[in-house]
Amino acid sequence: MESTSLLQSVSDSLANAVERAAKSTVSVNARRRMPASGIVWSDTLIVTANHVVERFEDITVALVHGESVPAKLVGRDPGADIALLAIDAPLGTAFTHASSPGRPGELVLAIGQPAPGRPMTSLGVVSGILPSVRTQTGATVEGILQPSVAMLPGFSGGPLVNAAGELLGLNSSTLVKSGAATIPVDALGPIVEILLQHGRPRRGYLGVGVQAVALPASVASEHQDHGLVVTGVETGSPGEASGLIIGDVLLTLDDRPLQSVDNLLDALTGDTVGRESALAILRGGVPQTVGVTIGERGAQ
Protein backbone atom coordinates (compact mmCIF):
# COMPACT_ATOMS: atom_id res chain seq x y z
CA MET A 1 0.00 0.00 0.00
CA GLU A 2 1.34 3.40 -0.89
CA SER A 3 2.06 5.25 2.32
CA THR A 4 0.51 8.56 1.31
CA SER A 5 -2.81 6.96 0.45
CA LEU A 6 -2.68 5.15 3.78
CA LEU A 7 -2.44 8.46 5.61
CA GLN A 8 -5.26 9.80 3.46
CA SER A 9 -7.37 6.79 4.47
CA VAL A 10 -6.61 7.45 8.13
CA SER A 11 -7.50 11.10 7.64
CA ASP A 12 -10.79 10.31 5.87
CA SER A 13 -11.62 7.72 8.48
CA LEU A 14 -11.19 10.31 11.26
CA ALA A 15 -13.41 12.77 9.38
CA ASN A 16 -16.01 9.99 8.99
CA ALA A 17 -15.78 9.28 12.72
CA VAL A 18 -16.53 12.94 13.41
CA GLU A 19 -19.46 12.87 11.02
CA ARG A 20 -20.83 9.76 12.70
CA ALA A 21 -20.37 11.10 16.23
CA ALA A 22 -21.91 14.45 15.30
CA LYS A 23 -25.23 12.66 14.66
CA SER A 24 -25.30 11.80 18.36
CA THR A 25 -23.97 15.09 19.70
CA VAL A 26 -26.33 17.96 20.46
CA SER A 27 -25.95 21.59 21.28
CA VAL A 28 -27.15 22.31 24.85
CA ASN A 29 -28.44 25.81 25.49
CA ALA A 30 -28.73 26.19 29.26
CA ARG A 31 -26.45 29.05 30.17
CA ARG A 32 -26.00 32.71 29.36
CA ARG A 33 -22.73 32.24 27.52
CA MET A 34 -22.40 30.26 24.32
CA PRO A 35 -24.16 26.89 24.30
CA ALA A 36 -22.25 23.74 25.22
CA SER A 37 -22.55 20.17 24.00
CA GLY A 38 -24.45 17.04 25.04
CA ILE A 39 -24.56 13.34 24.32
CA VAL A 40 -27.62 11.57 22.89
CA TRP A 41 -27.93 8.75 25.44
CA SER A 42 -31.25 7.34 24.30
CA ASP A 43 -34.33 8.47 22.38
CA THR A 44 -35.40 10.68 25.26
CA LEU A 45 -32.28 11.32 27.32
CA ILE A 46 -29.39 13.73 26.83
CA VAL A 47 -26.36 13.61 29.13
CA THR A 48 -24.27 16.74 29.51
CA ALA A 49 -21.89 18.38 31.97
CA ASN A 50 -23.48 19.80 35.10
CA HIS A 51 -21.49 23.03 35.02
CA VAL A 52 -22.93 24.06 31.65
CA VAL A 53 -26.49 23.86 33.00
CA GLU A 54 -26.94 27.20 34.72
CA ARG A 55 -30.71 27.35 34.72
CA PHE A 56 -33.61 25.04 35.49
CA GLU A 57 -36.01 26.27 32.83
CA ASP A 58 -35.87 27.37 29.20
CA ILE A 59 -33.32 24.69 28.41
CA THR A 60 -33.17 23.76 24.74
CA VAL A 61 -31.15 21.23 22.82
CA ALA A 62 -30.54 21.15 19.07
CA LEU A 63 -28.91 18.88 16.56
CA VAL A 64 -29.32 20.90 13.38
CA HIS A 65 -29.88 24.60 13.21
CA GLY A 66 -33.57 25.39 13.39
CA GLU A 67 -34.55 22.16 15.09
CA SER A 68 -34.19 23.31 18.66
CA VAL A 69 -36.38 21.38 21.12
CA PRO A 70 -37.16 22.07 24.79
CA ALA A 71 -35.50 19.83 27.36
CA LYS A 72 -36.32 19.15 31.00
CA LEU A 73 -33.69 18.89 33.70
CA VAL A 74 -34.10 15.39 35.16
CA GLY A 75 -31.23 15.46 37.62
CA ARG A 76 -27.72 16.56 38.28
CA ASP A 77 -24.62 15.28 39.99
CA PRO A 78 -22.38 18.27 40.68
CA GLY A 79 -19.65 16.02 42.08
CA ALA A 80 -19.25 14.05 38.89
CA ASP A 81 -20.17 17.11 36.77
CA ILE A 82 -23.06 15.33 35.09
CA ALA A 83 -26.56 16.58 34.27
CA LEU A 84 -29.34 14.56 32.74
CA LEU A 85 -31.89 16.15 30.41
CA ALA A 86 -35.08 14.67 28.98
CA ILE A 87 -36.64 15.45 25.62
CA ASP A 88 -40.09 14.48 24.31
CA ALA A 89 -39.16 13.37 20.83
CA PRO A 90 -36.06 11.58 19.62
CA LEU A 91 -33.28 13.84 18.39
CA GLY A 92 -30.40 12.32 16.53
CA THR A 93 -29.16 8.79 17.08
CA ALA A 94 -28.25 7.30 20.45
CA PHE A 95 -24.50 6.78 20.66
CA THR A 96 -22.91 3.45 19.95
CA HIS A 97 -20.70 2.67 22.92
CA ALA A 98 -17.11 1.70 22.24
CA SER A 99 -16.66 -2.04 22.75
CA SER A 100 -13.53 -1.49 24.83
CA PRO A 101 -12.63 1.40 27.13
CA GLY A 102 -9.99 3.91 26.04
CA ARG A 103 -6.38 2.78 26.40
CA PRO A 104 -3.33 4.99 26.88
CA GLY A 105 -2.00 5.93 23.45
CA GLU A 106 -5.31 5.37 21.69
CA LEU A 107 -6.31 8.04 19.16
CA VAL A 108 -9.37 9.91 20.36
CA LEU A 109 -11.50 12.81 19.17
CA ALA A 110 -13.39 15.28 21.33
CA ILE A 111 -16.57 16.39 19.60
CA GLY A 112 -18.32 19.65 20.32
CA GLN A 113 -21.42 21.08 18.76
CA PRO A 114 -21.95 24.46 20.46
CA ALA A 115 -23.47 25.74 17.21
CA PRO A 116 -26.05 23.23 15.97
CA GLY A 117 -25.24 21.71 12.59
CA ARG A 118 -21.59 22.72 12.86
CA PRO A 119 -19.69 19.90 14.53
CA MET A 120 -16.21 20.73 15.76
CA THR A 121 -13.47 18.38 16.83
CA SER A 122 -10.03 18.09 18.34
CA LEU A 123 -7.66 15.14 18.04
CA GLY A 124 -5.51 13.66 20.76
CA VAL A 125 -4.50 10.48 22.44
CA VAL A 126 -5.50 9.01 25.78
CA SER A 127 -2.61 10.36 27.84
CA GLY A 128 -3.51 8.52 30.99
CA ILE A 129 -6.24 6.95 33.06
CA LEU A 130 -6.91 8.03 36.63
CA PRO A 131 -7.27 5.04 38.93
CA SER A 132 -10.07 6.41 41.06
CA VAL A 133 -11.38 9.90 41.72
CA ARG A 134 -13.57 10.76 44.70
CA THR A 135 -16.14 13.43 43.91
CA GLN A 136 -17.45 16.06 46.34
CA THR A 137 -20.40 13.83 47.20
CA GLY A 138 -18.16 10.99 48.35
CA ALA A 139 -18.77 8.74 45.38
CA THR A 140 -15.84 7.39 43.41
CA VAL A 141 -15.52 7.41 39.65
CA GLU A 142 -13.20 4.77 38.25
CA GLY A 143 -11.25 5.02 35.04
CA ILE A 144 -11.47 8.72 34.23
CA LEU A 145 -9.64 9.25 30.94
CA GLN A 146 -7.21 12.10 30.44
CA PRO A 147 -7.12 12.86 26.73
CA SER A 148 -4.63 15.28 25.16
CA VAL A 149 -7.43 16.89 23.12
CA ALA A 150 -8.05 20.64 23.15
CA MET A 151 -11.18 21.40 25.16
CA LEU A 152 -12.34 24.28 22.98
CA PRO A 153 -15.11 26.64 24.13
CA GLY A 154 -18.45 24.81 24.13
CA PHE A 155 -16.90 21.32 24.19
CA SER A 156 -17.90 20.56 27.80
CA GLY A 157 -20.64 17.96 28.05
CA GLY A 158 -19.76 16.55 24.65
CA PRO A 159 -18.39 13.12 23.84
CA LEU A 160 -14.92 11.69 23.59
CA VAL A 161 -14.99 9.12 20.80
CA ASN A 162 -12.55 6.58 19.44
CA ALA A 163 -11.29 6.62 15.86
CA ALA A 164 -14.45 4.81 14.80
CA GLY A 165 -16.68 7.53 16.26
CA GLU A 166 -17.91 5.32 19.13
CA LEU A 167 -18.55 6.76 22.56
CA LEU A 168 -15.79 6.48 25.16
CA GLY A 169 -17.18 9.00 27.65
CA LEU A 170 -18.28 12.50 28.53
CA ASN A 171 -15.83 15.40 28.47
CA SER A 172 -15.59 17.93 31.24
CA SER A 173 -13.21 20.84 31.50
CA THR A 174 -13.79 21.27 35.24
CA LEU A 175 -13.78 17.76 36.72
CA VAL A 176 -10.02 17.48 37.02
CA LYS A 177 -7.84 20.49 37.76
CA SER A 178 -5.47 20.17 34.83
CA GLY A 179 -6.81 19.73 31.33
CA ALA A 180 -9.59 17.64 29.91
CA ALA A 181 -11.14 14.74 31.74
CA THR A 182 -13.53 12.17 30.39
CA ILE A 183 -15.98 10.20 32.52
CA PRO A 184 -15.97 6.75 30.93
CA VAL A 185 -19.16 5.17 29.62
CA ASP A 186 -18.95 2.42 32.26
CA ALA A 187 -19.17 5.02 35.03
CA LEU A 188 -21.77 7.14 33.21
CA GLY A 189 -24.36 4.37 33.02
CA PRO A 190 -24.90 3.88 36.78
CA ILE A 191 -24.89 7.66 37.39
CA VAL A 192 -27.53 8.15 34.69
CA GLU A 193 -29.65 5.39 36.29
CA ILE A 194 -29.49 7.04 39.70
CA LEU A 195 -30.26 10.50 38.32
CA LEU A 196 -33.21 9.04 36.45
CA GLN A 197 -34.57 7.48 39.66
CA HIS A 198 -33.69 10.08 42.26
CA GLY A 199 -32.73 13.25 40.40
CA ARG A 200 -29.53 13.54 42.36
CA PRO A 201 -26.65 11.36 43.42
CA ARG A 202 -27.81 9.23 46.32
CA ARG A 203 -25.31 8.58 49.03
CA GLY A 204 -25.59 7.03 52.46
CA TYR A 205 -25.06 9.27 55.46
CA LEU A 206 -23.84 8.44 58.95
CA GLY A 207 -22.98 11.91 60.26
CA VAL A 208 -19.80 11.14 62.16
CA GLY A 209 -16.29 12.50 61.80
CA VAL A 210 -13.70 9.75 61.85
CA GLN A 211 -9.97 9.15 61.63
CA ALA A 212 -8.07 5.96 60.93
CA VAL A 213 -6.22 4.47 63.89
CA ALA A 214 -4.11 1.36 64.37
CA LEU A 215 -6.04 -1.28 66.29
CA PRO A 216 -4.66 -2.74 69.52
CA ALA A 217 -3.00 -6.10 69.00
CA SER A 218 -5.78 -7.82 70.93
CA VAL A 219 -8.34 -6.80 68.30
CA ALA A 220 -6.21 -6.58 65.15
CA SER A 221 -6.40 -9.49 62.76
CA GLU A 222 -4.78 -10.63 59.57
CA HIS A 223 -7.52 -8.90 57.62
CA GLN A 224 -7.82 -5.74 59.63
CA ASP A 225 -5.21 -3.77 61.55
CA HIS A 226 -6.92 -0.36 61.42
CA GLY A 227 -10.26 1.06 62.52
CA LEU A 228 -11.92 4.48 62.52
CA VAL A 229 -12.05 6.49 65.70
CA VAL A 230 -15.06 8.79 65.99
CA THR A 231 -13.90 12.38 66.43
CA GLY A 232 -17.24 14.09 66.04
CA VAL A 233 -20.96 13.30 65.88
CA GLU A 234 -23.34 15.63 64.03
CA THR A 235 -26.48 16.69 65.85
CA GLY A 236 -29.57 14.91 64.55
CA SER A 237 -27.50 12.49 62.45
CA PRO A 238 -28.09 8.73 62.15
CA GLY A 239 -24.85 8.27 64.05
CA GLU A 240 -26.18 10.26 66.98
CA ALA A 241 -29.51 8.42 66.88
CA SER A 242 -27.67 5.12 67.09
CA GLY A 243 -25.86 6.28 70.21
CA LEU A 244 -22.36 6.61 68.73
CA ILE A 245 -20.11 8.74 70.90
CA ILE A 246 -16.75 10.37 70.41
CA GLY A 247 -13.99 7.85 71.04
CA ASP A 248 -15.84 4.85 69.63
CA VAL A 249 -13.70 2.91 67.17
CA LEU A 250 -15.68 1.72 64.13
CA LEU A 251 -14.57 -1.72 62.94
CA THR A 252 -17.06 -2.92 60.35
CA LEU A 253 -20.29 -1.80 58.69
CA ASP A 254 -22.43 -4.79 57.75
CA ASP A 255 -19.26 -6.90 57.98
CA ARG A 256 -17.29 -4.62 55.59
CA PRO A 257 -14.02 -3.70 57.29
CA LEU A 258 -13.53 0.02 57.91
CA GLN A 259 -9.78 0.63 57.78
CA SER A 260 -9.78 4.02 56.13
CA VAL A 261 -12.08 6.97 55.57
CA ASP A 262 -12.30 5.80 51.95
CA ASN A 263 -13.59 2.41 53.15
CA LEU A 264 -16.43 4.15 55.00
CA LEU A 265 -17.28 6.43 52.06
CA ASP A 266 -17.25 3.46 49.71
CA ALA A 267 -19.53 1.53 52.07
CA LEU A 268 -22.11 4.33 52.18
CA THR A 269 -23.43 3.71 48.66
CA GLY A 270 -26.82 4.98 47.52
CA ASP A 271 -28.55 1.69 48.17
CA THR A 272 -27.66 1.75 51.88
CA VAL A 273 -30.05 4.70 52.40
CA GLY A 274 -32.75 3.67 54.91
CA ARG A 275 -31.09 0.34 55.56
CA GLU A 276 -30.86 -1.11 59.06
CA SER A 277 -27.15 -1.72 59.37
CA ALA A 278 -24.88 -3.20 61.99
CA LEU A 279 -21.79 -1.32 63.10
CA ALA A 280 -19.18 -3.32 64.95
CA ILE A 281 -17.32 -0.99 67.28
CA LEU A 282 -14.89 -0.87 70.13
CA ARG A 283 -16.09 1.22 73.06
CA GLY A 284 -13.68 1.56 75.92
CA GLY A 285 -11.75 -1.34 74.38
CA VAL A 286 -14.77 -3.62 74.44
CA PRO A 287 -16.26 -4.96 71.19
CA GLN A 288 -19.93 -4.11 70.69
CA THR A 289 -22.48 -4.02 67.92
CA VAL A 290 -24.62 -0.96 67.32
CA GLY A 291 -27.67 -0.85 65.03
CA VAL A 292 -27.92 2.19 62.79
CA THR A 293 -30.39 3.37 60.13
CA ILE A 294 -28.30 4.89 57.35
CA GLY A 295 -29.57 8.30 56.29
CA GLU A 296 -29.28 10.10 52.97
CA ARG A 297 -26.55 12.64 52.42
CA GLY A 298 -27.99 16.02 51.58
CA ALA A 299 -31.48 15.09 52.81
CA GLN A 300 -30.98 16.21 56.41
Partner 1 sequence: MTAIHPTLLGAEVGAAMADLYASVAPSVVLVNHRRGNGAGIIWTAEGDIITNNHVVPHDRAEVLLRDGRKFVGMVATRNPERDLAVIKIVSDEPFTPATIGDADSLRPGHLVFAIGHPRGKRDAITMGVVVGVGESLGDRPRQSDIIQADVPLAPGNSGGPMVDALGRVVGINAMVAGRMSYAIPARYAEILVSTGIAAVPGDPGFDAVRTELRHPVRQVGYVVMALDPDGPAERAGLLIGDTLVTIDALPVPEDHSIFRRWLGSLQAGEALALGIVRAGAMTAVELTPETLVDHS
Q: Which residues contribute to the site for partner 1 (CB under 8 A)? A: 1, 3-12, 14-19, 22, 65, 109, 115, 118-123, 149-150, 152
In the residue annotation, 156 being an active-site residue is answered as yes
Asked whether the beta carbons of 181 and 145 are under 8 A apart, the reply is: yes
What is the H or E stretch that residue 59 is in? strand 59-62
Spot the catalytic one: 24, 51, 237, 248: 51
Spot the catalytic one: 27, 156, 173, 237: 156
Using CA atoms, how far apart are residues 280 and 261, in angstroms rounded to an integer?
Answer: 16
> Torsion angle, CA of 70/76/82/85, rounded to 10 degrees?
-20
Provide, rounded to whole angstroms, the least separation between the CB of residue 47 and partner 1: 22
In degrees and rounded to multiples of 5, residue 8 shows phi and psi of -65, -40
Provide, rounded to whole angstroms, the least separation between the CB of residue 183 and partner 1: 21
Please identify, using beta-carbon distances, which residue of 114 and 227 lies nearer to partner 1: 114
Provide, rounded to whole angstroms, the least separation between the CB of residue 144 and partner 1: 21
Provide, rounded to whole angstroms, the least separation between the CB of residue 121 and partner 1: 5
Asked whether the beta carbons of 31 and 45 are under 8 A apart, the reply is: no
b/e burial code for range 68-82 (CB count within 10 A of at least 16 → b) = bbebebbbbbebbbb
- DSSP state, residue 52: G
Please identify, using beta-carbon distances, which residue of 165 and 207 lies nearer to partner 1: 165
Provide, rounded to whole angstroms, the least separation between the CB of residue 22 and partner 1: 8
- DSSP state, residue 183: E
User: Residue 286, SS3?
Assistant: strand
In the residue annotation, 51 being an active-site residue is answered as yes
Please identify, using beta-carbon distances, which residue of 6 and 214 lies nearer to partner 1: 6
- DSSP state, residue 112: E
State CA 183 to chain mean position distance: 6
Q: Please report, as a single letter, which amino acid is at residue 223.
A: H
Using CA atoms, how far apart are residues 236 and 216, in angstroms rounded to an integer?
Answer: 31
Please identify, using beta-carbon distances, which residue of 110 and 282 lies nearer to partner 1: 110
Which residues are 38's β-sheet partners?
26, 48
Please identify, using beta-carbon distances, which residue of 109 and 292 lies nearer to partner 1: 109
In the residue annotation, 24 being an active-site residue is answered as no
**Residues catalogued as catalytic:** 51, 81, 156
